[in-house]
Amino acid sequence: MSTVAYTVKGMTCGHCVSSVKEEVGEVAGVTSVEVDLGSGLLTVNSEGPVDPAEIVAAVKEAGYEVAGDR
């Protein structure tokens, strides 16, 4: 199992959190997603390593940005 954290910029409400969780949760291999609105922390758990570019793309699809855009 693998856990990776990212910081998401631009989220302002619960709907933002839901959008990010939904998009990132659809990435192949992702088993769970946690998002903290206050800190912008996105924690991704997966079966094995997931390409960070896929996570960044999913966050962008939800309408937000990853800080530092790995």
Q: Which domains does the chain have, with CATH numbers?
A: 2-64 (3.30.70.100)
Task: Name the pTM for this structure.
Answer: 0.92
**Which pLDDT score, from 0 to 100, does residue 69 have?**
59
> Taking the CB of residue 8, how many other CB atoms lie within 10 A of it?
23
**Which pLDDT score, from 0 to 100, does residue 70 have?**
47
**Which pLDDT score, from 0 to 100, does residue 19 have?**
98
- Per DSSP bridges, beta strands 2-9 and 65-66 are antiparallel
What gap in Å lies between CA 13 and CA 7, rounded to an integer? 15
What is the token pair recorded at 12?
A: 């302002």
Q: Are 6 and 24 in contact (CB under 8 A)?
A: no
Q: Are 44 and 8 in contact (CB under 8 A)?
A: no
Ranges under pLDDT 50 in the chain: 70
